Structure 1
Amino acid sequence: MEKVAHPKLSKSLLWLMTVVSGVVVANNYYNQPLLAEIANEFQVSEAAASRITVLTQLGYACGLLMIIPLGDKLFRKRLILVDLIFVMLALIWMALSDAIWMMAAASFLIGFSSVIPQLFVPMVADLSDEENRSSNIGMVMSGLLMGILLSRFIGGIVGDVWGWRSIYWGAAVMMVLSWGFIYRMLPEMKPNFKGNYGSLMKSVWDLARTQPILQLAAFRGAMSFASLCVVFTTLAFHLEQPPFEAGPSVAGSFGLIGAAGALAAAFVGRLNQHWSRNKIIAISLFLLLISWFFIYFLGNYYIGLVIGIVMIDLGLQASHIMNQSDYFAIKTPATSRLNTVYMVSYFIGGSFGSWVGGQAWSAAGWTGVCLVGVLFAVLGLVAHLLFANRLQKKVSP
């Protein structure tokens, strides 16, 4: 296929995609520190309230599967602008919900439409040179993770002061502002796929079936994100009990604490100049596993939870950036479809982690939560240690 000429990636454009990625992805996570408050308002169990988080992540996975491949078929700027309108409408529906089923449906639609950051990441990969691709992807992904983490903090604070509905009204206003900046600043990029939607989706499956580096990256990402979602889905319930007896604002503040890990991981792309991707991923996954030592053994102290949350966010973000650098190095113009396979797997892992975390909390409390969190972390690390070097040798000239 003939190489398509792309505009250059300016600093201002990179910052725009970084900030908007954080603002949009935050929509998926405002609910996590508010689950206890939502359960009380609608008189449902904590396990039932936690399904809102599961549905948001399942919606995100479905949106990734059905929308992101269109980044190779349609003009991406137009696709992003249309999608932002649907995000705004879903947020308004969430704010107006007066029954738990309405919240569940709106949460699914918020997740389904809030996939814009994953249209940005392939754009950054396409617009970057080989030597700065990892660092540029790292910057956008740091914006995304900062959005995830700060959304929990902001959601908790706003929920405590003005109630949980107000955060969704504010988020809808942010979507309007984002639409204006995207319209003015984002360049248009020509599509590189000319088939119909059916053949586009078949090509996604073909990539998932035939690219072992992509398969391994997808599994590592799914297990790592599942491990993180286990703790953040149940943290509000843990903090609500003795010895903490804390409300949504305290639970949300752990998102702000975890932002320290996200900021540190922003520089992981630079390590690629000195260490191999496989080595960085192995260290990151080991760090994620060790974080559970603090979360469990010091889980009844704020200091233990703080250290554990920082470490798990740093390990997740660092491995996530390197996973994406790994599969974007595959020689194909189908960057949006590569990203689809990885990110669908990533958020299916996250939704499964949220569901298992909620079940573990109901069955065995904090001990059960930590056991399943460790299991996910071990699975990701073992898969990497068994297969990464072997695959690298196969693709090396």
Structure 2
Amino acid sequence: MSRPLPRGGTFLLAAMAGTAIANNYAVQPALTAVATDLDVPLSVIGLVPTAALAGCTTGFALLLPLTDHLAPNRLVAAQLTALAAALALAATARDAFVLLVAYLLVGAAASVAAQAGNIAGRHARPGRAGTGVALVAAGLSAGILLSRLVGGALTDALGWRRMLLVFAALALLGALAAATLLPRHRPPAPRGYRATLAALPPLLLHRPGLRRAVATGALWYFAFNLVWIALTLTLARPPHSLGPTAIGLYSLAGILGFAALPVTGRLTDRYGPRTVITAAMLAAAAGTAVLATGLDTPWRTALGLALFDAGCFAAQAANQSRVIALDPARSGSLSGVYLVVYFTIGALGTAVAAPLLDALGWQGTGLTALSALLLAAALGRR
């Protein structure tokens, strides 16, 4: 039986998740300044976000299963300390190679955000697991939404190196709080860490519930990346011809998804994840249908994005609750498999967005995403 989190523990995990995952994105507004400072082409520095994503995916595979083996206070504190060290390495980098290596490590350590959600679900009080996971998901979403804004503002005020050191200091504060406040109980692991890693690939074969969760989540993350990349490209082209700032303002539509997450958790605890996933996918599909009708009216585009983001965010929180509930004692391993496949299929959505847009146009691309969401809604009921 897992010991419950102390009062305020879930909010602490949410804050840690948000500040950790923000490091994958906060440097993006500063990439031009970084390229100038290091005197390397922007195309090379443009690999920094890719390195962060690759590191994060590796962290999901190799580090997330550690939640089945280590006490939360030690695990989260150690990983946040490693994140601070990686950020310090990036802040002192004098060439692109060191910076890219540092961001591989930053991404891997930032996967603590997924560990935080897993810990919140596992150590929630009875009947509150969905709420705990959703609150951490809200913190994570806030970190993603605000990261570029905060990173850009700090870069303008302090320079990109000091900006990274500010985030390193936040990671160290989180490590201290984790070591002091998170549960110290080590979960009983029936197998060693190496055996746990070796057992990851067969989980998809032997766990039908995990396969359904993976398929459902992968479909909407594919649609999520497809819509956002294609939308950005479409708005930048004639007849819209919007600049980066104007396009970026549409990301504020994601605030609705952030605001909906606490409610999502309560609904998941009350009605079960399947009902919430289906409803969320239908909301996302409705938003996609609005977007597919055209992007000529800003309020209609914002409305479509708000429904789309809210549906995807809500479904992700409910689906993570479903994965954890399959086997709480092995939830770290199950979540690791889920997120690795989830991000891999999401990357596919990113890769095919431009070719699909060129071949089918915006409306055809939107209908492709709509089909994926409706299929996800159907699978979510199973």
> Is the TM value for this pair above 0.5?
yes
- Is 2:355 aligned against 1:348? no
> Partners in 2 of 1:225 and 1:240 — Cα distance?
23
Alignment correspondent of 1:188: 184
Q: Deviations over 1:97-156 (max 9, x none)?
A: 565555443333221111112222222222224422111211111111111112133234
> Partners in 2 of 1:333 and 1:191 — Cα distance?
8
Q: Which amino acid aligns with 2:132?
A: N
TM-score norm. by structure 2 comes to 0.84
**Cα contact 1:90–1:109 (8 A) shared by 2:** yes
- Is 2:243 aligned against 1:246? yes
Change (3 A) 1:87 1:198: same
- Is 2:141 aligned against 1:141? no
> SS of the counterpart of 1:30?
coil
Q: Which amino acid aligns with 2:143?
A: G
Change (3 A) 1:201 1:69: same
- Is 2:72 aligned against 1:76? yes
My pick for the range that moved more, 19-28 or 322-331, is: 322-331
Alignment correspondent of 2:281: 285
> Partners in 2 of 1:383 and 1:316 — Cα distance?
11
**Cα contact 2:277–2:315 (8 A) shared by 1:** yes
Alignment correspondent of 1:123: 119
Which structure 2 segments of 5+ residues have no match? none
Deviation of 1:94 after TM superposition, in Å, equals: 3.3
> Partners in 2 of 1:100 and 1:127 — Cα distance?
41
Q: Which amino acid aligns with 2:194?
A: G
- Is 2:27 aligned against 1:9? no
> Partners in 2 of 1:166 and 1:246 — Cα distance?
28
Q: Deviations over 1:14-38 (max 9, x none)?
A: 1111111111111122245566777
> SS of the counterpart of 1:23?
helix
**Cα contact 2:151–2:163 (8 A) shared by 1:** yes
- Is 2:146 aligned against 1:150? yes
> Partners in 2 of 1:227 and 1:9 — Cα distance?
35
Change (3 A) 1:174 1:373: farther
> SS of the counterpart of 1:195?
coil
Q: Deviations over 1:146-204 (max 9, x none)?
A: 11112133234445666655542322221122122212211212132153332111232
Which structure 1 segments of 5+ residues have no match? 392-397
Alignment correspondent of 1:307: 303
Match for 1:203 among 196, 199, 223? 199
Alignment correspondent of 1:381: 374
Deviation of 1:319 after TM superposition, in Å, equals: 0.5
My pick for the range that moved more, 8-17 or 151-160, is: 151-160
Deviation of 1:271 after TM superposition, in Å, equals: 2.4
Change (3 A) 1:336 1:274: closer
Change (3 A) 1:231 1:189: farther
**Cα contact 1:295–1:305 (8 A) shared by 2:** yes
TM-score norm. by structure 1 comes to 0.81
Deviation of 1:279 after TM superposition, in Å, equals: 2.9
Q: Which amino acid aligns with 1:69?
A: P
